[in-house]
Structure 1
Amino acid sequence: MLSSVVSFFDNKLCYSGQKCQKIPEILIKLYGLKADSLDLSYNELISLEGLEGFPSLTELVLDNNQLSDSLTFPYIPNLQTLSLNKNNIRDLESIILKITQKCPNIIYLSLLGNKACPNKLSGEENDEEDYQRYRYYVLFHLPKLKFLDSTKVCSSERTEALRRGKFMGVIRPTQSNSNENAVDSSTMDTFTPLPSHIRSAADHRGAYGKCRYRYSGKHSEGNRFIFNTDL
């Protein structure tokens, strides 16, 4: 029975650990207009379809699901707390844009355990500088935040985010074939070294990342001044 797996008390609804891939319609019907807090953690959600049936939410917990960059939010103007820990979110710019547009009054956000959040939980290659740049970027776009992940936002950090957070977006290398130098001729017309969201020349947004390759071939700078008579 539904009552045995649902907890609803003081307008707080919890439906966790049920392996559901979408929000059950019965939850929306019974509690959608009553709940101001919704906990759907430890399920297998791949979509937030039906979330529009909870128009009064101030808190939404979606930890440990299968949500990816394709997720969409309805407009939730009263939402203040959003927890998306340990999902499959990789594109930081995309998720922050969605939150900015659909959840304008967020003051607590947590993205720990997603590739979009570059700390040790999402990869051993990340370091403290990566994570701090990420924080500046998020705080620039969501200036109302009081907590980001597990840490309170301090005034000096907020000031620094306003100064240079716009230029701290993360661009991650895409996966490549084993033969990294090969180029498929069928894609030559569409090939571009720029991100897929091509920007205009007037847009000078910066980004940071880690360089994976170093060129030292026969046409490198070290060979520019060797003449045939020297060989």
Structure 2
Amino acid sequence: MEGSHINSFALSFKNNRLSYCGQDCRKIPPALWNMYGAKVNYLDLSFNSIETLKGLERFTRLEELVLDNNKLGDTVTFPPLPYLKTLSLNNNQIVNLEALINKLCDSYPSLSYLSLLSNKACPNQLSDRDKDESDYQRYRYYVLYKLSNLHFLDSRRVSPPERLEASSRGEFTRVRRPSSNQDVTDTISPPPAFTARPLPLDLSTLGKHKGTYGKCRYKYTGKHSEGNRFILNSDL
């Protein structure tokens, strides 16, 4: 799967939507961008073993990108895609939230929908049993402070009160990196006198975008779970 050859039986291309899933690719096959790069506005490369996004810039019209269940880590480079609105990175190997968000700020100015569930960088019980709702809420404030155009983060729509809270407190919830001689994991420091309050899932807003996320807050059923994948309006 590493060269120019692709498995045509695993490839689906229709209405400018390209899917190439479950092929254990460690990189994007050049044949995909050579044949479809100028045509695609939706790309699904989930359930592979992708470690690099080299060649992604060849998909010049891309608006939606699904990279769930791959092996993308902190060293990955995100090629610029000026029209990208939806990015799903569920179940990868991303730990450094601050570095990731800085990359996304630089590369994807139009980003409106982002999902990072089942990465260490996303502090909830899918990635760490020691995390709770307050840890997750502080993470949301930080991400929304940095990516102020987001309408949806993970499985939850961004509410106006949450956006307002993020604009005033998000700077204080930034990820603090340990020094090089410390062997500790990333933490997110709460702002002074901060009391987390869980925000309910807003079911009434689901289904208004063709790439919206699942109805439940968290859903995980194993390695090949589809619970965090996008669903179409017709499926709701």
Letter paired with 1:32: G
| 1:71-108 Cα shifts (integer Å, max 9, x gaps) | 11111010000000000000000000000000011000
* Matches of 1:208 and 1:173, distance apart in 2: 12
* Equivalent residue, structure 1, for 2:114: 109
Structure 1 runs (4+) deviating above 4 angstroms are 190-193
Letter paired with 1:134: Y
Does residue 166 (structure 1) correspond to residue 171 (structure 2)? The answer is yes
Cα deviation, residue 2, structure 1: 3.4
Change (3 A) 1:66 1:207: closer
Cα deviation, residue 52, structure 1: 1.0
TM-score normalised by the chain length of structure 1: 0.75
Find the structure with the greater CA-based Rg.
1
Letter paired with 2:73: S
* Matches of 1:34 and 1:145, distance apart in 2: 26
TM-score normalised by the chain length of structure 2: 0.73
* Matches of 1:154 and 1:81, distance apart in 2: 18
* Equivalent residue, structure 2, for 1:181: none
Does residue 64 (structure 1) correspond to residue 69 (structure 2)? The answer is yes
* Equivalent residue, structure 2, for 1:131: 136
* Matches of 1:73 and 1:123, distance apart in 2: 25
| 8 Å contact from structure 2 (residues 138, 188) kept in 1 | no
Name stretches of at least 5 consecutive residues in structure 1 with no aligned partner: 175-189, 196-205, 210-231
Query: Superposition pairs for residues 1-231 of structure 1, below 5 Å?
Result: 2-171=7-176, 208=189
The number of equivalent residue pairs is 183
Cα deviation, residue 133, structure 1: 0.2
| 8 Å contact from structure 2 (residues 139, 188) kept in 1 | no
Letter paired with 1:105: S
* Matches of 2:21 and 2:174, distance apart in 1: 33
| 1:155-179 Cα shifts (integer Å, max 9, x gaps) | 00000000010110233668xxxxx
Change (3 A) 1:67 1:120: same
- Report percent identity of matched pairs: 52
Letter paired with 2:126: L
Name stretches of at least 5 consecutive residues in structure 2 with no aligned partner: 1-5, 191-236
Task: Compute the RMSD of aligned alpha carbons.
Answer: 2.2
